[in-house]
Structure 1
Amino acid sequence: MTVSRFPRFIARPPWFGGDLQTVRNYVRPTEVPLAAFSEERIEFPLPDGDRLTAMLHRPSVESDRPLAILIHGLSGSQDSIYLRRSARHLLQSGFPVLRLNLRGAGPSGPLCRFSYHAGRTEDIHAALMQLDGRLAGRGLLAMGFSLGGNLLLKYLGEQGRRALFLGAVSVSAPILPKQAQLQIMKARNRAYHRNLLEGVKEDFGRPSAELPAALRATLPEIRSMLEFDDRIVAPINGFDGAEDYYARSAAYPLLAQIAVPTLVIHARNDPWIPAEAYLQFDWKRNPKLVPLLPRGGGHVGFHGLGHEVPWHDRCAVSFFEGLIRRGL
């Protein structure tokens, strides 16, 4: 499949520029109803006793299409607006959908002592291994957003030909987490930074979280994501500080090892995640990867001219349908 088969991204007025594209879902929140589709809660026990939760939906008309698993980003959950939008478009296109909550996020929160992080791919693998023929019998697809996109790409690179997906789509992933953290802490991103920091403090500081009292007591005084990763995320997950956490969680070094057809979407004007890593990577090294790097779109925005469905969702469905036509 070639990039030319995908529609060109043109921003929908008045959402011009990376910032307006990024915040559109929050300044103009709209209901994303999924009630028309059957709903079933599923739990995935993890080896250490924690449990992930997910919401399964089936399209209105029975189809033989693979199950699409959606993975949210930092401080998100199954009910993040972008995740619900993607779920609805996939369901309307005939794909069953599983909205997965990462460890400690959303409805998984009360069932988990520990929390997700940018490199915790073992949780993804553990959940996939529990899918029976009823869910995985027609194959699996995946779509990851932001931190969830990095998780997905890292999982695919680690697993290589053993990966359990027929195809995948990554949207706005921080494939070099250190670069993303340096970017989010810039003065221009002060509002974004504050909201993200509040979100992760809430996730990691929830009552069910097994966080040492000394660390829990430091949460109110932490003033940056870098400090949060260095003082909270790294020590409770066995990393030697934030630098070690970023290096060992990055998907970028593993891109060349991905053996599953994967669409990689990232806007060059993403205000949170620099595009340099995407522009520097030699995409010819891995023909399984299809990069879509438009100049506009912001961070998980892609509100395009003439469409209510975000551009990245239309591209994802087009990509998945292309794989099905080719018999993958």
Structure 2
Amino acid sequence: MTHFQPPPLLRNAHVQSLLASTRLRRLRIGNRARKLEAASREVLVECRDGTRLIGEYAEQSGENRGLVILIHGWEGSSKSTYMLSSGSALFEAGYNVFRLNQRDHGPSHHLNKELFTSTRLTDALGAVEWIQTTFPHERNYLAGFSLGGNFSLRVAANCRDHAIRLDQVAAICPVLNPVNTMEALDSGWWLYEKYFVRKWKRSLRTKLKHFPELGYEKDLLTLKSLREMNQFFVPRFTSFKDANTYLLAYAIIGDALSHLEAPCHIIAAQDDPICGAEDLPNLAKAPNLTVESTAHGGHCGYVSNYRLDSWVDKRLLELFNNN
């Protein structure tokens, strides 16, 4: 097993978190990412409950090592830098790769009237089931980043009634306790909250172009923080009475992961400024769950050297190659 040991100048949590998504990082993966995208085709995912999602599927021209489904984080997409980085590394190593866009992410806002919420586990379950049924493989893997990691682990814990097979699940810096994550965004470095407010508002405006009857256009102008946005949208567009109840509904602490249906591996950084490691001890002690906690890495950073290589890409290959 490789260990994450970044050079001294790359050990700062904010440096790690920001570097992972910079233009420099995008340039570093340029050639590999272009090969992945050239081999990918857009696919309409049609879940059995009527939900429709969009993904990108890259298939090997010859034999393959199995199917890897990747799920991005909140307000990310199939084209996020970390998705392209890990996806291209896996494709280059011989895996078929499906990069899934969650509801209202990527170019999918027009497909479903109901807004994306983090509690819509049926979307992820239905999508993974449809993908594996449509593109059957002997070996099947699932990996997610941040909120996508949270979804991946919940899929593994709730897939018993679905035609889903998972040989290994990996979650990179997953949201563990959304209440604490929202508090970290609210009270931490202002740049992170500003980033998510801007991206969420942009997504919500895109949604209104397709479904103006949702009617929140004027209200959106007055909302300035994630806390205010949650307080407005949760009671009006979800089945939850308040934001705190909603956030707790997709937490994976306590018994949430006690009945995992597949081997699951969490990679979490002790210095993660968004999905803090303080809740790692509160995870279920499940036989199918292992936790790899690193001292550094920030939030989905894991930039291993000054060439901006990703340690996570190599770690995912190790995990999947050995299962």
Give the TM-score normalised by the residue count of structure 2. Answer: 0.89
Greater shift in the superposed pair: 296-305 or 44-53: 44-53
Question: How do residues 133-212 of structure 1 correspond to structure 2 at under 5 angstroms?
Answer: 135-159=135-159, 163-186=164-187, 188-206=188-206, 207-209=209-211, 212=214
Contact 1:205 1:211 in 2 (8 A): no
Q: Give me the whole-angstrom Cα distance separating, in 2, the residues matched to 1:241 and 1:210.
A: 24
Cα deviation for residue 210 of structure 1 reads 6.1
Residue identity in the other structure for 1:98? F
* Other structure's SS at 2:35 match: coil
Q: Which residue of 2 aligns with 1:35?
A: 34
Greater shift in the superposed pair: 228-237 or 30-39: 30-39
Structure 1 residues 235 and 151: alpha-carbon distance in aligned structure 2, compared to 1, 3 A threshold: farther
Q: Which residue of 1 aligns with 2:226?
A: 225
Cα deviation for residue 121 of structure 1 reads 1.2
* Other structure's SS at 1:14 match: helix
Greater shift in the superposed pair: 286-295 or 217-226: 217-226
Q: Give me the whole-angstrom Cα distance separating, in 2, the residues matched to 1:225 and 1:19.
A: 20
Q: Give me the whole-angstrom Cα distance separating, in 1, the residues matched to 2:192 and 2:132.
A: 40
Quick check: 1:299 aligned with 2:299?
yes
Structure 1 residues 152 and 103: alpha-carbon distance in aligned structure 2, compared to 1, 3 A threshold: same
Q: Give me the whole-angstrom Cα distance separating, in 2, the residues matched to 1:134 and 1:281.
A: 33
Contact 2:170 2:316 in 1 (8 A): yes
* Other structure's SS at 1:11 match: coil
Residue identity in the other structure for 1:99? R
Cα deviation for residue 48 of structure 1 reads 6.3
Contact 1:268 1:296 in 2 (8 A): yes
Q: Which residue of 2 aligns with 1:236?
A: 237
Q: Which residue of 1 aligns with 2:53?
A: 52
* Other structure's SS at 1:263 match: strand
Residue identity in the other structure for 1:217? K
**Which of 1, 5, 21 is residue 10 of structure 1 equivalent to?**
5
Q: Which residue of 1 aligns with 2:312?
A: 312
Q: Give me the whole-angstrom Cα distance separating, in 2, the residues matched to 1:7 and 1:211.
A: 52
Structure 1 residues 47 and 64: alpha-carbon distance in aligned structure 2, compared to 1, 3 A threshold: closer
Q: Give me the whole-angstrom Cα distance separating, in 1, the residues matched to 2:211 and 2:287.
A: 42
**Which of 255, 258, 280 is residue 257 of structure 2 equivalent to?**
255
Sequence identity, in percent? Answer: 22
**Which of 270, 273, 279 is residue 272 of structure 2 equivalent to?**
270
* Other structure's SS at 2:158 match: helix
Structure 1 residues 85 and 132: alpha-carbon distance in aligned structure 2, compared to 1, 3 A threshold: closer
Give the TM-score normalised by the residue count of structure 1. Answer: 0.88
Structure 1 stretches lacking a partner, 5+ long: 1-5, 324-328
Quick check: 1:90 aligned with 2:66?
no
Cα deviation for residue 30 of structure 1 reads 2.2
* Other structure's SS at 2:113 match: coil
Cα deviation for residue 138 of structure 1 reads 2.2
Structure 1 residues 99 and 12: alpha-carbon distance in aligned structure 2, compared to 1, 3 A threshold: farther
Residue identity in the other structure for 1:290? T
Residue identity in the other structure for 1:7? T
Cα deviation for residue 229 of structure 1 reads 1.9
Contact 2:142 2:166 in 1 (8 A): yes
Residue identity in the other structure for 2:15? L
Task: For residues 114-142 of structure 1, give each alpha carbon's deviation from its aligned partner in whole angstroms, at most 9, with x where no partner exists.
Answer: 33222211011212232365612323211
Cα deviation for residue 313 of structure 1 reads 1.9
Q: Give me the whole-angstrom Cα distance separating, in 1, the residues matched to 2:14 and 2:136.
A: 38
Cα deviation for residue 236 of structure 1 reads 0.9
Q: Which residue of 2 aligns with 1:286?
A: 286
Greater shift in the superposed pair: 220-229 or 15-24: 220-229
Structure 2 stretches lacking a partner, 5+ long: none
Contact 2:56 2:99 in 1 (8 A): yes
Contact 1:161 1:260 in 2 (8 A): no
Q: Give me the whole-angstrom Cα distance separating, in 1, the residues matched to 2:292 and 2:55.
A: 29
Q: Give me the whole-angstrom Cα distance separating, in 2, the residues matched to 1:309 and 1:211.
A: 45
Contact 1:235 1:241 in 2 (8 A): no
Q: Give me the whole-angstrom Cα distance separating, in 2, the residues matched to 1:128 and 1:145.
A: 16
Structure 1 residues 148 and 210: alpha-carbon distance in aligned structure 2, compared to 1, 3 A threshold: farther
Residue identity in the other structure for 2:302? F
Q: Give me the whole-angstrom Cα distance separating, in 2, the residues matched to 1:234 and 1:25.
A: 34
Q: Give me the whole-angstrom Cα distance separating, in 2, the residues matched to 1:174 and 1:76.
A: 14
* Other structure's SS at 2:55 match: strand
Q: Give me the whole-angstrom Cα distance separating, in 2, the residues matched to 1:161 and 1:296.
A: 38
Cα deviation for residue 99 of structure 1 reads 0.6
